[in-house]
Amino acid sequence: MHDGADTNEDVWKSDHLVAQWVAGTGERERRRSEQRRLMADLLPFADDEAFTFVDLGAGTGAAARVVLDRFPRAEAILAEYSPQMMAEGRHALADYEGRFQYVEFDLAEGDWPAEVPTGVAAMISSLSVHHLPDSRKRELFTEIFQHLAPGGWYLNYDPVSTDDPVVESAWLRAGDRQDPQAAAKRHHRTPEEQRRYENHVRYMIPLAPQLELLRAAGFEGIDVYWKQLDVVIYGGRRPEEPPG
């Protein structure tokens, strides 16, 4: 899996594997609800403000739904490359009809769809950027910056790795105590589970280099707005243009 062969399509364009993943969505999203709400609360809009945001690597729209709930006049552009995930997302977003649209976009490529305009008020991403090689992460953050309006925010909710074995051991220890079944799951993966796991971690990198990539792209206000063990919310904004 780490030989450079691309496996994202094998996983996320597989009817069988996507169906398996969707079946566990309810429990996963219950665990992530606090982080989803925080990401929405970090966006700098009034409760009744109308704005458009982009959810990159949107999947079934779990993150977008929380923002749409938080801001009833907001509209979402959900950028996703898996037809299976988009189909599931349109079903999950049925109650938001007229407030969202899916557009096909592979984050691993730099050819942004015309449906994603420049001057967007905000962009979010969840659990997708870690699937990209470092060189593509760098390019993507620059492209996000270029598509944001001055003052526009980008927030990313994602797992990170560590180069420090002491930290890694602490993460595993705490994670195993929080989930008594975690160790057994880790040591007894099915071949399909192992395939998905290797796809999950192959391009994962520590937090600090990702913050540097945001700085290099031109963002300000960069911070780690939430962190628990190996999962973080970080982001920043495109600087506002000076008056006149």
Report domain 8-237's class.
Answer: alpha beta
| Rounded-to-integer distance, Cα 20 and Cα 23, Å | 5
Res 26: pLDDT: 65
User: Mean pLDDT, to the nearest integer, of 39-54?
Assistant: 98
Higher pLDDT, 106 or 32: 106
Q: What is the mean pLDDT of the chain?
A: 90
pLDDT one-digit tens code per residue, 162-203: 999 999 999 999 999 999 988 888 888 888 777 777 877 899
Q: Are 237 and 45 in contact (CB under 8 A)?
A: no
User: What residues does 122 pair with on adjacent strands?
Assistant: 53, 153
Domain ranges of the chain: 8-237
Higher pLDDT, 33 or 7: 33
Res 4: pLDDT: 44
- Is 9's pLDDT higher than 90? no
Res 2: pLDDT: 39
- Is 13's pLDDT higher than 90? no
Identity of the amino acid at 98? G
Residue of 165, 166, 142 whose CA lies nearest to 154: 142
Alpha helices in the chain (DSSP H): 8-12, 15-23, 25-42, 62-70, 83-92, 134-147, 165-178, 182-187, 191-201, 207-217
- Is 94's pLDDT higher than 90? yes
Higher pLDDT, 211 or 182: 211
Q: Are 130 and 207 in contact (CB under 8 A)?
A: no
Res 35: pLDDT: 95
Residue 95 carries which DSSP code?
G
